[in-house]
C-alpha cells in the first residue's frame, strides 16, 4: 500500500479543490454523469471546462492517493472505465449509495465530534446543528492528531461539539460512517 502524504503544490491543491467542487456540488450543473453512488467517469472530468488541459489522469491518481483526508475514491468499472467520487460532503440530491455504513450501536465509534467557529455558536445553541445545502452534517470520530482521524474537522476550528451518541441514537437520529471514516448524520 502506498503511503499517504500531504501534497502541497499549488497546482495539486487547486485540482483537489476543483474536484471537490465538481464531485460534491456541481456535477449535474456541469452536465457530468453521476451515479447514485456519486461516481463520475474520469474522461468526463478531464473534459470538463474547469480541468480540461489543466490536469492529467496521473495528476488525479496522485491526488487521490496522497490526499491526507482521503476525500476521493477511484474505481474501475466492469467495462474498464475509470471513475472518481468524493467520499462525503455532497449537496447533490439522490446520491443514495455512497457506501455509508449505519451506526447502530454507540460502541462502534469512540467519539462523535463536530468542529465549528464562534461566529456560528449562538445559532447552534438556539437551533441546533444545521446541514445547510449538504446532504449530511459532518462529524469526526476524534480530534486532529489522533491516528485514526482522517477527516471531519478543519485545523482552524474554534469549538468542538461532542455528541452523546447513545442519546442521539435513542432519540432517532441517524449516523453513518463514510469510506474515509467520517461520521455523518
The structural domains of the chain, ordered by start, are 10-86 (1.10.10.970), 101-184 (no CATH)
Q: What is the pLDDT of residue 136?
A: 75
DSSP annotation string for 133-173: TSSS-EEBSS-TT-TT--SSS-TT-SEEEE--HHHHHHTT-
Distance separating alpha carbons of residues 49 and 58, to the nearest angstrom: 18
Task: Output b/e per residue, 149-168; b: 16+ Cβ within 10 A.
Answer: bbbbbeeebeeeeebebeeb
| % of the chain residues with pLDDT over 70 | 84
Q: What is the pLDDT of residue 4?
A: 42
Residues 114-157 have pLDDT tens digits of 888 999 999 999 998 877 777 778 788 776 666 555 556 777 88
Mean pLDDT of the region 99-107: 86
| More confident position, 182 or 61 | 61
Number of Cβ within a 10 Å radius of residue 182: 25
Whole-model pTM over 0.75 = no
Pairing relationship of beta strands 101-103 and 72-76 according to DSSP bridges: unpaired
Amino acid at each position: 500500500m502506498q503511503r499517504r502524504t500531504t501534497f502541497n503544490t499549488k497546482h495539486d491543491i487547486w485540482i483537489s479543490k476543483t474536484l471537490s467542487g465538481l464531485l460534491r456540488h456541481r456535477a449535474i450543473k456541469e452536465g457530468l454523469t453521476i451515479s447514485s453512488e456519486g461516481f463520475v467517469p474520469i474522461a468526463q472530468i478531464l473534459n470538463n471546462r474547469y480541468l480540461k488541459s489543466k490536469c492529467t489522469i496521473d495528476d488525479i491518481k496522485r491526488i487521490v492517493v496522497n490526499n491526507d483526508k482521503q476525500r476521493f475514491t477511484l474505481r474501475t468499472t466492469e467495462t474498464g472505465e475509470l471513475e472518481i467520487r468524493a467520499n462525503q460532503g455532497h449537496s447533490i440530491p439522490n446520491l443514495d449509495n455512497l457506501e455509508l455504513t449505519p451506526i447502530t450501536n454507540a460502541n462502534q465509534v469512540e467519539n462523535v465530534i463536530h468542529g465549528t467557529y464562534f461566529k456560528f455558536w449562538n445559532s447552534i445553541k438556539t437551533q441546533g446543528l444545521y446541514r445547510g445545502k449538504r446532504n449530511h452534517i459532518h462529524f469526526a470520530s476524534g480530534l486532529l492528531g489522533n491516528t485514526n482521524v482522517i477527516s471531519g474537522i478543519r485545523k482552524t476550528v474554534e469549538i468542538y461539539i461532542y455528541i452523546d451518541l447513545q442519546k442521539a441514537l435513542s432519540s432517532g437520529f441517524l449516523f453513518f460512517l463514510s469510506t474515509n471514516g467520517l461520521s455523518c448524520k
